[in-house]
Amino acid sequence: MAKEKAKDPADYSVEEKLKNLYALQSMLSEIDGIKTLRGELPLEVQDLEDEIEGMTTRIEKIGAEVAELKREINERNGKIAENNASIARYNAQMDSVRNNREYDSLTKQVEYAELDNQLHEKKIREAKEVVDAKTTEITRCNLEVNDRRVMLETKKEELEEIVSETKAEEDKLRERAKNLEITIEPRLLNAFKRIRRNSRNGLGIVSVQRDACCGCFNKIPPQRQLDIRSRKKIIVCEYCGRIMIDRELAGLPSETQEATPKKSSRKSKAKKAES
């Protein structure tokens, strides 16, 4: 027997389209509820990972600066050693000078070399102070990174525990939602997803309650409510742009049914008071 061909989503009636959309919204709202259980943990984990990465990069940068300063210190120590060798040579040459001009020239060479040594020694002291400060900063940053890593592991464990508890349910809902999306016309589905993205509560299709939109709570004119109940075309809220569906089609209890328990509870309270 030949397999029955799947119905084209465009061939569904407006009533069927609205019903499928509302069913999809219900599943997605359940998924949103599961995400809410995780709270801010995913964001906290991401923030800690970004912070650790930033601090690690900073430590590497400071380490490179320290290495460059140490290289500079070594170079200056080398130049001081060269100057000391030149000074010793100039002093030795002074013992065999033939006139004052040669003596004065050697004396000036010694003075220049000594001044150059003083400059190098000053720069070395300054560089060592910077190296000490940066080494201290690296130590502090490493301690902070270690603290952040401990916090990250704790947050990850908490998140993994919550995810493991809800993953099976979430995967099941996502699979059902994916199968349901196939039955919805792509143009309508894209519009629905766009509305969901732009709404704070993630609702793309809502019902009317007490003559108001359940998404933005603005009043819906009677004629528009009649159009929604007629299910002849897709109606959107003129205030928030959400797709509208009547309560009966959404499978929600009527407002009179919702009010009945309240009335009965008031009567029971009144009887208790009389007794």
Task: Answer yes or no: is 17 within a domain.
Answer: yes
Asked whether 184 and 20 are in contact (CB, 8 A), the reply is yes
Task: Answer yes or no: is 4 within a domain.
Answer: no
Task: Answer yes or no: is 271 within a domain.
Answer: no
Token representation of residue 269: 């309270």
Same domain, 17 and 49: no
Q: Is the pLDDT of residue 204 over 80?
A: yes
Strand pairing report for 243-245 and 205-209: parallel
Same domain, 129 and 238: no
Same domain, 110 and 225: no
Residue 212: φ, ψ to 5°: -130, 155
Task: Answer yes or no: is 85 within a domain.
Answer: yes
Distance separating alpha carbons of residues 80 and 115, to the nearest angstrom: 10
Residue 274: which pLDDT band, with cuts at 50, 70 and 90?
low
Distance separating alpha carbons of residues 117 and 163, to the nearest angstrom: 66
Task: Answer yes or no: is 139 within a domain.
Answer: yes
Same domain, 43 and 174: yes
Q: Is the pLDDT of residue 180 over 60?
A: yes
Q: Is the pLDDT of residue 1 over 50?
A: no
Same domain, 64 and 161: yes
Task: Answer yes or no: is 220 within a domain.
Answer: yes
3-state per-residue secondary structure call for the chain = CCCCCCCCHHHCCHHHHHHHHHHHHHHHHHHHHHHHHHCCHHHHHHHHHHHHHHHHHHHHHHHHHHHHHHHHHHHHHHHHHHHHHHHHHHHHHHCCCCCHHHHHHHHHHHHHHHHHHHHHHHHHHHHHHHHHHHHHHHHHHHHHHHHHHHHHHHHHHHHHHHHHHHHHHHHHHHHHHHHHHCCCCHHHHHHHHHHHHHCCCCCCEEEEECCEECCCCCECCHHHHHHHHHCCCCCECCCCCCEEECHHHHCCCCHHHHHHHHHHHHHHHHHHHHC
From 179, 206, 224, the end of a domain falls on 179
Same domain, 62 and 154: yes
Q: How many domains does the chain have?
A: 2
From 179, 210, 241, the end of a domain falls on 179
Residue 164: which pLDDT band, with cuts at 50, 70 and 90?
confident
Q: What is the mean pLDDT of residues 121-145?
A: 95
Same domain, 169 and 47: yes
Distance separating alpha carbons of residues 78 and 154, to the nearest angstrom: 51
Same domain, 46 and 172: yes
Same domain, 175 and 193: no
Q: Give the pLDDT score at 167.
A: 82
Q: Is the pLDDT of residue 4 over 80?
A: no
Q: Give the pLDDT score at 61.
A: 96
Residue 266: which pLDDT band, with cuts at 50, 70 and 90?
low
User: Strand pairing partners for 206?
Assistant: 244
Task: Answer yes or no: is 272 within a domain.
Answer: no
Please write the tens of the pLDDT for every residue from 18-29. 999 999 999 999
Q: Give the pLDDT score at 39.
A: 76
Write out the residue range of the structural domain in which residue 258 sits: 9-36+185-264
Same domain, 61 and 149: yes
Q: Give the pLDDT score at 70.
A: 95
Length of the chain: 275
Asked whether 235 and 228 are in contact (CB, 8 A), the reply is yes
From 113, 148, 179, the end of a domain falls on 179
Token representation of residue 244: 């509208």
Please write the tens of the pLDDT for every residue from 53-103. 999 999 999 999 999 999 999 999 999 999 999 999 999 988 888 888 988
CATH number at residue 53: 1.10.287
Q: What does pTM read for this prediction?
A: 0.55
Same domain, 47 and 141: yes
What single-letter amino acid sits at 174? Answer: R
Distance separating alpha carbons of residues 189 and 235, to the nearest angstrom: 15
Token representation of residue 255: 């407002």
Percent of the chain with pLDDT over 90: 61
Same domain, 66 and 145: yes
Task: Answer yes or no: is 274 within a domain.
Answer: no
Distance separating alpha carbons of residues 61 and 66, to the nearest angstrom: 9
Could you tell me the CA-to-CA distances from 48 to 31, 56, 58, 139, 149 in Å, in that order?
25, 12, 15, 19, 8
Nearest to 30 by CA among 180, 153, 152: 180
Q: Give the pLDDT score at 275.
A: 45
Q: Give the pLDDT score at 264.
A: 47
Q: What is the mean pLDDT of residues 181-189?
A: 90
